[in-house]
Amino acid sequence: MEIFSVASYITSFLTVLYVLVVLAFIRGWHKLTYYQPKQPVFKTKVSILVAARNEAANISKTLDDLCAQSYDPALTEIIFIDDHSTDDTAKIIASYASKGVKLIRLNEDRALNSYKKKAIQTAIGQATGDLIITTDADCRMGTNWLKTIIGFYEEQQYKMISSPVAYFEEKTFFERAQALEFLYLIGLGASTIGNKKPSTCNGANLAYEKAAFYEVGGFQGIDDLASGDDELLLHKIAARFDNNIGFLKHHDAVVYTHAKPTLGEFIQQRKRWASKSTRYKNKSIIVLGVGIWLFNVSILLNIAIGLFFGFFLQLALWQLLVKIIVELLFLYDVTGFAKRRKLLVLLPILNLMHIVYIVYIGIAGNSGKYNWKDRMVK
Which pLDDT belongs to residue 127?
97
Which pLDDT belongs to residue 115?
75
Interval 162-173: pLDDT, tens: 999 999 999 999
Sheet holding 255-257, edge to edge: 140-141, 255-257, 165-167
- d(CA 346, CA 177) in angstroms, rounded, equals 7
Res 339 pLDDT > 80: yes
Instruction: Tell me the one-letter amino acid at 32.
Output: L
For the chain, what percent of residues have pLDDT higher than 70?
Answer: 92
Which residue did the predictor score with more confidence, 226 or 21? 21
Q: What is the DSSP string of 146-203?
A: HHHHHHHHHHH--SEEE--EEE----SHHHHHHHHHHHHHHHHHHHHHHTT------G
Q: Which of 31, 12, 34 has the alpha carbon at shortest distance from 23? A: 31
H-type alpha helices, the chain: 2-31, 59-67, 89-94, 115-126, 145-156, 173-194, 210-215, 231-240, 263-275, 283-306, 310-338, 347-364
Which pLDDT belongs to residue 110?
58
- DSSP summary character for residue 144: T
- d(CA 88, CA 107) in angstroms, rounded, equals 16
- Classify residue 73 as left (phi > 0), alpha (psi -120 to 50) or beta: alpha
Query: Distance of CA 327 to CAs 256, 315, 377, Å?
Result: 23, 18, 33
Domain ranges of the chain: 2-28+283-377, 33-276
Confidence grade of residue 273 (pLDDT, cut at 50, 70, 90): confident
Output the pTM of the full model.
0.91
Res 53 pLDDT > 70: yes
305, 314 contact by CB (below 8 A): no
Res 205 pLDDT > 70: yes
Which pLDDT belongs to residue 354?
87
For residues 277-299, average pLDDT: 83
3 state DSSP class of 245: strand
Q: Give the gyration radius of the chain's Cα atoms.
A: 21
Confidence grade of residue 290 (pLDDT, cut at 50, 70, 90): confident
* 33-276 maps to CATH 3.90.1150.10: no
Q: What is the DSSP string of 282-302?
A: -HHHHHHHHHHHHHHHHHHHH
Which pLDDT belongs to residue 55?
94
Which residue did the predictor score with more confidence, 273 or 293? 293
Res 29 pLDDT > 80: yes
3 state DSSP class of 15: helix
Range in 74-78, 304-308, 319-323 the model is least confident about: 304-308
121, 219 contact by CB (below 8 A): yes
